[in-house]
């Protein structure tokens, strides 16, 4: 299902629901080295805001703010 826009449709629905619930944004952790996921989320307006180590692995933290 890659490159068919399904992720964008699902994310749009989720973002709308979160906005209705008064949330300010979404944070994701992407395993370091998962370049395809990084590109996909960047294309969906997520920005890199940091890094962390969790469960013995290194992750990149991405965020997308919700316009309220």
Tens of pLDDT, residues 6-61: 877 888 898 899 999 999 999 999 999 999 999 988 988 899 999 999 999 999 99
The SS3 call for residue 5 is coil
pTM score, two decimals?
0.79
Q: Please count the structural domains in the chain.
A: 1
Domain ranges, residue 29: 6-65
pLDDT on residue 44:
85
Q: What is the CATH number of the domain that holds 22?
A: 3.40.630.30
Cβ(68)–Cβ(26) below 8 Å: no
Tokens of 13: 């629905």
> Is residue 11, in this structure, part of any structural domain at all?
yes
| Closest by Cα among 36, 33, 27 to 2 | 36
> Is residue 40, in this structure, part of any structural domain at all?
yes
> Is residue 34, in this structure, part of any structural domain at all?
yes
Q: How sure is the predictor about 63, in pLDDT bands with cuts at 50, 70 and 90?
A: very high
pLDDT on residue 67:
75
* All residues at 6 or more sequence positions from 21 whose CB lies less than 8 Å from its CB, including other chains: none
């Amino acid at each position: 299902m890659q490159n068919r826009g399904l992720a964008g449709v699902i994310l749009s629905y989720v973002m709308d629901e979160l906005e209705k619930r008064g949330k300010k944004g979404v944070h994701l952790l992407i395993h370091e080295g998962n370049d395809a996921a990084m590109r996909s989320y960047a294309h969906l307006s997520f920005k890199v805001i940091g890094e962390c180590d969790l469960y013995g692995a290194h992750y990149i933290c991405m965020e997308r703010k919700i316009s309220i």
